[in-house]
Structure 1
Amino acid sequence: MLEKIFKLKEHNTSVKTEIIAGITTFMTMAYILAVNPSVLGDAGMDGTAVLLATCIASFIGTICMALSANLPFVLSAGMGLNAYLAYTVVGVMGYHWQVALLAVFVEGLIFIVLSLTNVREAIFDAIPLNLKKGVSVGIGIFIAFIGLQNSKLVIANSSTLVSITNFTKDFHSAGICALLTVIGLFITVILYIKQVPGSILIGILATWIIGMLCQVTGLYVPNVKTGYYSLFPTFAMTDFSKLGETFGKCFQYDLNKVGIVNFIIVVFSFLFVDLFDTLGTLVGVSTKANMLDENGKLPGIKPALLSDAIATTAGAVLGTSTVTTFVESSSGVAAGGRTGLTAIVSGFLFLISMFFAPIFTAIPSFATAPALIMVGFLMFGAITDIKFTDDNMTEAVPAYLCIISMPLFYSISEGISIGIISYVILNLICGKAKKITPLMY
């Protein structure tokens, strides 16, 4: 049955590999169950309600992706997009979170229309292959940087912006976490080199277990005030009635208090950020998985984009920010995931996590950081496909700008937009306008 639905043999994979890949993807994404309630909580939303909404919306979107597109991509509330809602739309612009969710709902409806009319697919196909390779490399560096930050290996520095951590300072919290990330990275890399199945997942679990041993021996000391919690999961149940705090609330606000023009501005802000974020992720992950055809197109892109749009719409009704395809899907791809079965596994884990959220959210960031760093390395390999020669500069320079923009500007959408803009300008001015498709303009 699974073979018939997901065509495992055709994609050179197996049920075991897909299950491991699905678990791996979920493990690297589980942090969203802790982070999203915290971020949207700053906008005045109930944390438990946000967690439940995130789980359900992730399940809906991921199952749609699996069954309609048969792709190993997993969806959840997008990082950056949730911060934009909480700290810009609500914090800076001063709108109520219900208005922000309504804007996300409208954005989702627009994306559904654009997906059904092939507009989003056409935009994806219009991006040149070299630039798609650059997107993959840029995302690889970006998520590796996220892993380094999450583990506190990279810290803020007033003079150089970032620097390596001082392992001896706060050794029993920040220092030991950074050290455990290094140890976990070596474990993951060694297992991967030795071609051990599920090496990335094993690396996550091994690092977490070593961390728990450090807590038992006193090397790691939890400190809630500084954000260092116990590494052992609790077994409290979730209050499901809290979902009523956000469910359908996006329709219960008087837009006259906002003004239609202001509301349209908010909608289009979400629209464009989500468009480039989703396209960038799909390009990067599918490139890593060798899913693009000889013309640089992704078979099944239309249902994938439609699944993304449906998840965003459903998420807004449930009570969470824009749901989008997660770049961490690349961890499952790196673990061998090639079909929708990978997504099915991750989707059901999100659903199950509603009942055991405290267990899943106990996965420390220093345990998932080695997986992100390793996946970053694997995605970086696409750089060898970009020709950095004199006769290819109008292709290579945009790819280069895209690559460096993502980690330095901390945004996938900024990176891909800069890559596209520079591609058009350079080819137009350098007499290669024939290479530019209308949609690239």
Structure 2
Amino acid sequence: MEKFFKLKENNTDVRTEVTAGVTTFLAMVYILAVNPNILSAAGMDSAAIFTATAISAAFATLIMAFYANYPVALASGMGLNAYFAYSVCIPMAEQGINDPWKIALAAVLCEGIVFILLSFTNFREKLVNEIPQNLKTGITAGIGMFIALVGLKGAGIVIGSESTLVDMGHVGTPQFVLAVVGFIIIAVLNHYNVQGHILIGILATWILGMIAQAVGWYQVDVEAGVFSLFPSFHGGFLPSKMNFFSFDFAWIGGHVVEFITIIFSFLFVDIFDTVGTLIGVASKGGLLDEEGKLPRAKQALLADAIGTCAGACMGTSTVTSYVESSAGVVAGGRTGLTSLTTGVLFILALFLSPIFLAIPGFATTPALLWVGLLMVSSIKNLDFDSDVADAVAGFLAFIMMPFTYSIANGIMFGMISWVLIKLFTGKFKEITGIMWICFVLFGLRIWTLM
């Protein structure tokens, strides 16, 4: 381990690395409860999603450990899973398309392949550098708002209304009350720097829910979609079968532009998630070189891209680097041994599927709200006094995601508005090739929606 992971060279040791790996796992294991809840909205089997989430997380994290030697863990990305379910699959299902998640998985696979190819070029750097900062900020904050809205809807805190479009749900329901309590628990634990505060908040909300069911406050009504909160161990602890290679490429032939737009939206968010996370985690761990660059960046990006392809083949949404890896770095993690530890723990978690699958949607709402809070906080970096194109693009990206219930729409309106305003304000020369490509792509997408 010393020679392979270069522990002494990175001023660390086995005990510190293992402790850091456990810390990272506790910080991000909530995804095993959240991902099945989100992707099941796309019509997928929750048990199969759980298995795919755990195995793909372990696989990608181990690649990061052995190939890139970085203390970064990976799993199905928040925001990307919401885009998969709510922006891609549900609208397709409403159009009468059967098993739209198979088309979405095909898009994730293609996105991963493109990401692999781009890892050998400087396109990703161009994409990251040439997209206006305000637009990137608006997109990040907008995804946070979207994730928060998904969580609020899942607990019945926000409901539909014919008169006001949206309204507040019934305050007296256990789902509403316990979701709010769980969010407060996470906030308090975060204040005291408790490791795994998101997971603890989910489990505490779930346990309170079981107590509510035991005393009769939470009423089970299977026909109404209200299920028992107590885990069932009738099926044992063995993992469920995954949806291996469940791709549908037949639909693509008549919807090429729409499919390319879906791929681009996945790729766009994935690249910014990955690059931002890698730089952020590396900065916190002092892993950047003297020029502020990330050594072995190509290996790290390839690990992420390969993880995405593997995840699609196993039946889950885009796998990406997790910012929660910074928790392990703060605990002293500096090498791939940290990631190795986290990956092994994801494999062990496979045999706890009855527990994770019994966690209800309202118990994951606190986690979605907390992740939403962290992402929305980036709005403070949005410069409203800058160039009008930058300000409007960032603003539209921010508001269009939650208000149209689509991450792709936010990216689309943000980019198109930026190019058009630059054109009409006489700043044609400031429009880069990347932004022209995005403009044309999303312009074609709007044309297909008319």
Provide, for residues 361-396 of structure 1, a one-character-per-residue CA deviation record: whole Å limited to 9, x for no partner: 22222222223223322333322223322x543322
Report matched runs for 1:416-435 at 5 Å: 416-435=411-430
Provide, for residues 279-334 of structure 1, a one-character-per-residue CA deviation record: whole Å limited to 9, x for no partner: 454477679879699x999887654543343234324444x2543438xx456658
Report if aligned partners of 1:57, 1:311 keep a CA contact under 8 Å in 2: yes
Cα 1:32–1:406 change in 2 (3 A) is same
**In the alignment, which of 14, 20, 25 is matched to residue 22 of structure 1?**
25
Larger mean Cα displacement after TM superposition, 306-315 or 123-132: 306-315
| Alpha-carbon shift at residue 178 of structure 1 (Å) | 0.7
Counterpart residue identity of residue 81, structure 1 = F
**In the alignment, which of 153, 156, 161 is matched to residue 152 of structure 1?**
156
Cα 1:20–1:150 change in 2 (3 A) is farther
Q: Which residue of 2 aligns with 1:36?
A: 39
Report if aligned partners of 1:315, 1:323 keep a CA contact under 8 Å in 2: yes
Q: Are 1:374 and 2:370 an aligned pair?
A: yes
Cα 1:6–1:133 change in 2 (3 A) is farther
**In the alignment, which of 210, 217, 224 is matched to residue 212 of structure 1?**
210
| Alpha-carbon shift at residue 153 of structure 1 (Å) | 0.9
Aligned to 2:7, the other structure's residue is in SS state helix
Output the CA distance in 2 between the equivalents of 1:95 and 1:385.
40
Report if aligned partners of 2:115, 2:305 keep a CA contact under 8 Å in 1: yes
Q: Which residue of 2 aligns with 1:365?
A: 361
Output the CA distance in 2 between the equivalents of 1:195 and 1:105.
37
Cα 1:31–1:259 change in 2 (3 A) is closer
Aligned to 1:370, the other structure's residue is in SS state helix
**In the alignment, which of 136, 140, 143 is matched to residue 139 of structure 1?**
143
Aligned to 1:358, the other structure's residue is in SS state helix
| Alpha-carbon shift at residue 180 of structure 1 (Å) | 0.7
Larger mean Cα displacement after TM superposition, 418-427 or 154-163: 418-427
Provide, for residues 174-195 of structure 1, a one-character-per-residue CA deviation record: whole Å limited to 9, x for no partner: x111101111222222333344
**In the alignment, which of 346, 351, 355 is matched to residue 347 of structure 2?**
351
Output the CA distance in 2 between the equivalents of 1:6 and 1:268.
44
What percent identity do the matched residue pairs reach?
A: 36
Cα 1:156–1:20 change in 2 (3 A) is farther
Output the CA distance in 2 between the equivalents of 1:50 and 1:197.
26
Query: TM-score, normalization: structure 2?
Result: 0.74
Report matched runs for 1:391-402 at 5 Å: 391-402=386-397
Aligned to 1:75, the other structure's residue is in SS state strand
Report if aligned partners of 1:403, 1:415 keep a CA contact under 8 Å in 2: yes
Q: Which residue of 2 aligns with 1:407?
A: 402
Counterpart residue identity of residue 382, structure 2 = I
Output the CA distance in 2 between the equivalents of 1:96 and 1:146.
19
Output the CA distance in 2 between the equivalents of 1:6 and 1:50.
39
Unpaired runs of 5+ in structure 2?
A: 437-450
Counterpart residue identity of residue 218, structure 2 = Y
Unpaired runs of 5+ in structure 1?
A: 169-174
**How many matched pairs?**
417
Aligned to 1:4, the other structure's residue is in SS state coil
Cα 1:384–1:80 change in 2 (3 A) is closer
Output the CA distance in 2 between the equivalents of 1:196 and 1:100.
37
| Alpha-carbon shift at residue 149 of structure 1 (Å) | 1.7
Q: Which residue of 1 aligns with 2:269?
A: 277
Report if aligned partners of 1:276, 1:417 keep a CA contact under 8 Å in 2: no
| Alpha-carbon shift at residue 124 of structure 1 (Å) | 2.3
Output the CA distance in 1 between the equivalents of 2:404 and 2:123.
27
Q: CA RMSD in A?
A: 4.2
Larger mean Cα displacement after TM superposition, 372-381 or 263-272: 263-272
Q: Which residue of 2 aligns with 1:171?
A: none
Report if aligned partners of 1:38, 1:47 keep a CA contact under 8 Å in 2: no
Report matched runs for 1:285-300 at 5 Å: none
Q: Which residue of 1 aligns with 2:380?
A: 384
| Alpha-carbon shift at residue 28 of structure 1 (Å) | 4.1
Cα 1:304–1:189 change in 2 (3 A) is same
| Alpha-carbon shift at residue 274 of structure 1 (Å) | 1.6
Cα 1:413–1:27 change in 2 (3 A) is same
Q: Which residue of 2 aligns with 1:247?
A: 244
Aligned to 1:162, the other structure's residue is in SS state strand
Aligned to 2:119, the other structure's residue is in SS state helix
Q: Which residue of 2 aligns with 1:226?
A: 224
Aligned to 2:170, the other structure's residue is in SS state coil
